[in-house]
Structure formats: structure tokens, C-alpha cells
Structure 1
Amino acid sequence: MATPDSDWLTPNWLAEGAAHIWRPYCQMQTARPPLPVVATLGSRLVLADGRELIDGLASWWTACHGYNHPHIAQALRDQIERMPHVMFGGLAHEPAYRLAKRLADLLPGDLSHAFFAESGSVAVEIAMKMALQFHINRGAQTNKGAGRTRFLSFRGGYHGDTLATMTVCDPEEGMHSLFSGVMPAQVIADLPRDAESEAALDALLAVRGEEIAAILVEPLVQGAGGMLLHGPETLRALRRLADAHGVLLIFDEIFTGFGRTGTMFAMQAAGIEPDIVTLSKALTGGTLPLSAAVASTRVFEAFLSDDPEAGLMHGPTYMANPLACAAANASLDLFEDGAWRADVARVSAALTEGLEPCRAAPGVVDVRVMGAIGVVEFDAPVAVGDLCARFVEEGAWIRPMGKVIYLTPAFTTPDTDLALLTRAVRKVVGVAHPLD
């Protein structure tokens, strides 16, 4: 790790910029000041005052290989000297084309046509736009709004903060209830977890299926909605229902993709494929923003025509940014050797052992682990700011949300750091254990 220079260690930039920064997910009038980070290394954040915190979140689930991985860093250095960016309209470059081929080879089935963007939310919006235009191009709806113009998503779901993605998030439990009634209403249902709920969703689709363009779901784990888990059979049920009612199936794997649940992609646990999958977060190993909406051949071919208007008229300015694509290719290099599987299993075992005692803590209603995701759920929303401060005192960076304290560490997090993270959770929730 390079030693931070004096300008970074001096907190003047924090004080001088504070009046001009609008921070995420907080009430600016009452929020606690943020912690100034001056460097990262492996699983650690280095603060301006010299303290080091074990990052239990891998920076919102992105830094799967740990921070500052030398292979990714070298790929970025090489690429920035050659070509940091070039527009993708009418031009091509090797990092994007190689990445698209590699994603097609990694993804199951014929998910083989990648459309790149910058953020996960935008990738979901692109997937939604693809689904709408798929039906327009096939004549199942008009571009005047008749026909399949809505989406079916699920309670507990979260798909982003942009305008269209807000409409497919949980309208009551999510962060966007303020906009209820302002944005176009989608169809929100319960996930089909058993035969009875599958029959209920089938009945809903029998009535409203002809107005629905696609079903949208986070496979296996509804992340920001509370780290809510469901089984592979739920995904198989959604595939059956989508096929039966002529709607597309979109998997939002922005959180679950690239090993987080134990398989490379969550869909692989169910043995089925969606029509479109969205990817981001760990795609570049936590270095640069990049996302993709990857479509099946059937979806892609619906856009092929002699009519120019039948093409996908979309193009983010920084789409397929060569620097970001180089980082993603380097990240995929690290996945190719397969060591991540053992690392995820090791992290999963540490989270299971370290968090299970929390079941005895006051207010805890569930403890659950899937892959490199560990969750302690309470019976009421937790005080995020207060808990963050207590975790920092224990040497950990853990930011709860809603009713859950969760851990999503880098796969490469050492055992000693994993032990510190789970010990911090046990101490803060107030449970005694021999491990402590």
C-alpha cells in the first residue's frame, strides 16, 4: 500500500468540502459526520487518524477480491497508458469485446449479448427497456402504450434508486415509499415459495399477464430489502410461470453475481436461466463503475430488423469504458483459477460459527448465512448511526440497514479479520460467547 501523502492525512479537505457534499442515504441535517478514509488494503480501511477498520461490507459488496489487488491494479495501469476511454458509438475496443465474450462463456444457457453501462440501476433500467421493446418489436404491444407495459416484481425487492427502478422496488418496506402514487404503478406480488403461493401468482398472471412485459427478481437473496433468502425452487417456479404466460424473466444479479452466494451466479443454483440478467458491483472487483444487461439470443434477435427504429436506441456516454472493462477482465482472471470457491466456503463457515450465537441476543429473530453473506435480523429497525459508531470502536466497518446487521466481506478476508468482524457483532448485540 502506498503511504498517503500529507494532503490526504490532513483533514482540511473534509472540513472544507463538507458544506458542498450531498451524501447518500442520510438526512444531512442530523447525520453523523463520515469517517475520512485515506487508503485501503486487503480487507482494511485506513482512516486519516491512522486507525484501521476491517471492512465487513466490501464497499457495498463490490471488493470481492479485497482492496488494491495487484493483478487488477496492474491491468488498470497498463490500460490507462494505452486508452482510458473512447466513445462506444461507432468504435470498438479490445477490453469490451473480450469482456463480452468472457461473460457469454461464463453465463449459463445462451445469455450471450452484453449491453454495458456504468451503474447497476442503469443496467436494470436498460433490461426493463429491452423487455418493453422486445414486445413492441414482436407486435405484442404498441409504442403508444397499449399491451405489455408493466413489470411484475416482489415484496422485499430492491432494484435501484433511479426513476424506473424505484417503481419495481418494494413500495412499502423499501426506501422509496415517499414516491408512491407519483411514479407509474407496477405489479408487486409475493414471491412463490411453495405450491400455494405459486398458484396465487399463476392466478394473478392469468388476469394481468397480458399487460406485463417481464418478471423481475433478485435470485436467492433480496439484498437491500433486508438480505431476505429464498430457495432455488422459487426461481424455477418463476421460469415456469414466465413461460406459461408469455412474459420475459429478468434476474437482477447485481448483488448475487460473481460468487457471493456460493456459485458464480445465483441462477446456477436453480439450473435455469432468465431472458436477461443484470450484473455490476463485483464485476470490476470494486475498482471502477461498470454494469451490464446481458440478453439471451431470443431477446437480442427481436431487435434485428431492416427498420432502424427497431434497434435499441440507448447509449450511456461512458458505456463499455475501456479502463473499467480492463478491470473487469482482470477480476475474471482471478475467478478463473477457482480459488474463490474455497474462500467463499471458508467465509461462509466463519460467518455461520461466529454469528449463530446472536440468536440468543435480545430482539434477534433470525440468523442466516448464504455463501459469503451473514445476517442477524431484529424484530424492529435498528439505530444505524449508533451501531456504526459502536462497530468502529471495535475496529470494524459495519453499516446495518433496516432490521438487519449484515456482513458481506471480501472473499479474501483473513480468518483473523473474519473473527474480529463476528466478535464485534456479538459484542454489539449483547451476547456472551466462549469465543470471546
Structure 2
Amino acid sequence: MSIDLQFDSNHLWHPYTSMTNPLPCYGVVSANKALIQLDNGEQLIDGMSSWWACIFGYNVAELNLAAKNQIDKMAHVMFGGLTHQPAIDLAKKLVEITPKGLNKVFLCDSGSVSVEVALKMALQYWHAMDKPKSQFLTIRNGYHGDTFGAMSVTDPEGSMHELYHNFLAKQLFAPQPKITIDQQWDACDLDQITRMVIANKDNIAAIILEPIVQGAGGMHFYHPQYLKGIRDLCDKHQLLLIADEIATGFGRTGKLFACEFADISPDIICVGKAITGGYMSLAATLTTDKVATTISQGKAAVFMHGPTFMGNPLACAVACASIDKLISINWQEKVSRIEQQLKEYLAPCSDLSQVKNVRVLGAIAVVEMKEAIDVAIVQKQFVALGVWIRPFGKLIYIMPPYIIEKQQLKKLCDAIYRVASI
């Protein structure tokens, strides 16, 4: 099967690329398990889980069946004034598996939108308390999405959103945590953000961060005690804590949710990406009874957000099947196996002069180079080696599907070593 790549190049705008000098695109005709089939007959081992979402790989029998069963009933119905069992079932599952106390579920379209919802919840919470606050505090090198509210809490310096800096709400940015997950904890790491909270607490609606793993902002793994300290800081100064678990949720780090590393529960949590096993766009923002009740008893009396495709039945049905599959497959054992293999297979990269750092957590592996990577060149090299890995900045990283076979993972890591050593 041939794909019209010329039309694609002339008319389709792909993520983070130019229309006049676009990054090369490779035509895909099908995908199964951990393999992506190109239109030229080549097969690539997927190291990205399609931006971390396809945790079971592709063409998953249980998810296919859930979609087929639901689509004959209804693909969509508005959520305003109507409800349906797939949404109810999904909410039950999310309340059960997320950190304790997150009992109210807002279903939305995408991870970025779930962050927008979380920010609006925090703002409306304080408005309902008759104590309006207008700023958020976060940490450097974070990433929360591409919509305007999400961009405002994404580090504006040197990030993909730097261009929009002057158009966004001005937020507060504390230094990135220095102590990594494998180092000895030092409470001094919390000093500066503590000072910022004390100085600005009257106008901080919430602290928002990615628990333990900062994703697209640099793949930094920080110490769980930092996260625990942030929870304590929020409690002491009566601030809300928003945990962005869009990338880290559903087992990716070795915990079902990364908040579990610090044994804390946020006031609001954002989940997405893997929620449907990568089948379609869906996300959710969960919050506590206290936040939901306060918003609902405020002057507005309602929460002011309602996406057209909120609670989409087809997506909810697939999400339910995805969560059921995750719980049933002994995901912890699979992710632990992947983690040990990644550490073993990527260890030789640490000896390369071009490599600054190699780090692994759960089913996440990062080889940080000393110099920036030419994505087009490196992408072509990986495809020639039979793997799909999409680097950014100085980082070559993989987040493979949990069902990946040992020899496939070895081939991914060998390819990283070969490309990093060039």
C-alpha cells in the first residue's frame, strides 16, 4: 500500500515542525503489538508507545472488542443533561485506582485540556471562598501541554513555548529540584520554593507539577521527598496541589501513579495519554470532595467548563477495557522487567564520550547527550536500524509498550548505543 507522502508534505502540518522545511514523515499502514508497519514493507519496533499512550502496543484484542461493542450502541452523545454507563464505569475505576480522596471526576478531551480544567478548578475554588487568587507556582523545566493555560505553567525559558511568553499569564517558577531519585535526600532542595510560597501565598491558587518525572521538559527524575515536601508545604499554607500525571500515570514509572513514590494525594490530579491504551483522545481531572463542594457552593454555583466531546461513550468504553487489562496483566512485574533490562542494555552508553547521563525509571529510559541532536538525521538512522525512536533536544529516550519482548527491547537499546556512538 502506497501513502501519498508528497500531499502530506505539502498540506498536512505535523507536530512541532515547519511547513516549508518539514521533518521527514514515514508512512504507516498498520501496527500490531510492538511493531509499526511502514508502507515500504519495513517493520519498526516501537520505542515510543506513540507518545507514551499505547501501553499495550497496537491492535489489542480487548480494546478492539470494547470499541466494536460500543460503537453499535452509540459513538457519542452529549454529556450535558445526559449520562451513560461507560462514563459511570470509568469514573468508578478512576476513583478506585487513583490516590486516596480524589472522588469527583471531570472527563475531558485531552491531557492539555485536563490541565486547563485543573487550573480553572483551582481559580474557581478560591473565587468561591471569596479569596480570589490569580497565580500558579510551578518548577522549572516542567511541561503541561500546548493550550494557553497549560503553556503558562510550562517553563517559558528555552522551552517550545518561549515564543508565546509575552502573551501568557505570568506565573511563578521555582528552581528545578536538584536532588535526583537515586541520590541522598537533602531538605535544602526545598528552600527556595518554600521562600516563594511564603512571599506569594496570598496570590497562589495552587502549586502544579509533574510528580517525580518531568517529561517533555527534560525527562528529569527528582527525589520523592521533594514531592512529599511540596504536599506538606501546601498543607501548611493552605494551598491546593495539582499533580499532572498525564505522562506518569497508569504504571509507566513502576508505580500505578507517581504520587505513590511519596505516598501523597494531591487536591487535583490530571490523567490522560494511556487512559484509553492509546486508542483515542480522552483525559480526566479528578479532585476532592472539598474542592468540588466549595466550587459548587460558590457564587457561580457551577463549574464553568463543558467540552463538546466530554464523556465520549466510545472513548470511555475503551478506557474501561484498558484499565481492566492493565490490572489483569500483572503490569508491575512487566514494568519491573523492562526497567532491569533497560538498565542492563543501556549501561554501555555511559562509557561513550558523547553521552552526559543515562537514567532509567520504570519503563522510561533516557540517554542524555552532551550536544543537541539533529532529529531528522537521527530519525533516519533509527529507521534504518529497524526501530522507531523520536528524540528531542539532547535526549534520546524510549518509553516502550509494556508488552514488548526481550529481544525487541534489546534491539531498541542496541540502536540507541549505535546512534549515540556515531
Q: Tell me the distance in 2 between the aligned counterparts of 1:424 and 1:283.
A: 29
Other-structure match for 1:103: 94
Aligned mate of 1:301, from 281, 293, 296: 293
Other-structure match for 1:145: none
Aligned mate of 1:363, from 351, 354, 368: 354
Q: Tell me the distance in 1 between the aligned counterparts of 2:25 and 2:203.
A: 45
1:134 and 2:125 are equivalent in the alignment: yes
Other-structure match for 1:386: 377
1:37 and 2:28 are equivalent in the alignment: yes
Aligned-partner SS, 1:405: strand
1:182 and 2:173 are equivalent in the alignment: no
For 2:332, the aligned partner's letter is R
Aligned-partner SS, 1:181: helix
RMSD over aligned Cα atoms = 1.3
User: Is contact 2:10–2:19 with CA below 8 Å preserved after alignment?
Assistant: no
Q: Tell me the distance in 1 between the aligned counterparts of 2:165 and 2:407.
A: 45
**Residues 260-279 of structure 1 aligned to structure 2 (within 5 Å):** 260-279=252-271
Q: Tell me the distance in 1 between the aligned counterparts of 2:8 and 2:355.
A: 39
Structure 2 CA distance for partners of 1:237 and 1:417, relative to 1, 3 Å = same
**Residue 347 of structure 1: CA displacement?**
1.0
Aligned mate of 2:64, from 58, 64, 73: 73
Q: Tell me the distance in 2 between the aligned counterparts of 1:260 and 1:306.
A: 37
Greater mean alpha carbon deviation, residues 154-163 or residues 192-201: 192-201
Other-structure match for 2:108: 117
Other-structure match for 1:291: 283
Q: Tell me the distance in 2 between the aligned counterparts of 1:173 and 1:415.
A: 37
Q: Tell me the distance in 1 between the aligned counterparts of 2:73 and 2:266.
A: 36
Q: Tell me the distance in 2 between the aligned counterparts of 1:38 and 1:198.
A: 49
TM-score normalised over the length of structure 1: 0.93
User: Is contact 1:191–1:197 with CA below 8 Å preserved after alignment?
Assistant: no
1:328 and 2:313 are equivalent in the alignment: no
Other-structure match for 1:195: 187
Other-structure match for 1:434: none
Show structure 1 runs of 5+ residues with no match.
1-8, 142-147, 432-436
Aligned-partner SS, 2:269: strand
Other-structure match for 1:222: 214
User: Is contact 1:190–1:197 with CA below 8 Å preserved after alignment?
Assistant: no
Q: Tell me the distance in 2 between the aligned counterparts of 1:381 and 1:18.
A: 25
For 2:405, the aligned partner's letter is P
**Residue 17 of structure 1: CA displacement?**
4.0
Other-structure match for 1:62: 53
**Residue 27 of structure 1: CA displacement?**
2.1
Other-structure match for 1:157: 142
Q: Tell me the distance in 2 between the aligned counterparts of 1:30 and 1:77.
A: 40
**Residue 329 of structure 1: CA displacement?**
0.2
Greater mean alpha carbon deviation, residues 322-331 or residues 181-190: 181-190
1:34-74 deviations in whole A, cap 9, x for unaligned? 00001000001100111000010000000001111100100
User: Is contact 2:174–2:192 with CA below 8 Å preserved after alignment?
Assistant: no
Other-structure match for 1:374: 365
Aligned-partner SS, 1:318: coil
**Residue 333 of structure 1: CA displacement?**
0.9
1:237 and 2:229 are equivalent in the alignment: yes
Aligned-partner SS, 1:319: coil
1:10 and 2:10 are equivalent in the alignment: no
**Residue 221 of structure 1: CA displacement?**
0.5
Aligned-partner SS, 1:316: coil
User: Is contact 2:9–2:22 with CA below 8 Å preserved after alignment?
Assistant: no
Structure 2 CA distance for partners of 1:277 and 1:306, relative to 1, 3 Å = closer
Q: Percent sequence identity over matched residues? A: 42
Aligned mate of 2:157, from 172, 175, 191: 172
**Residue 338 of structure 1: CA displacement?**
4.7
TM-score normalised over the length of structure 2: 0.96
User: Is contact 2:228–2:262 with CA below 8 Å preserved after alignment?
Assistant: yes
For 2:267, the aligned partner's letter is D
Q: Which runs of 4+ in 1 moved over 4 A?
A: none
Q: Tell me the distance in 2 between the aligned counterparts of 1:356 and 1:121.
A: 34
Other-structure match for 2:200: 208
**Residue 337 of structure 1: CA displacement?**
1.8
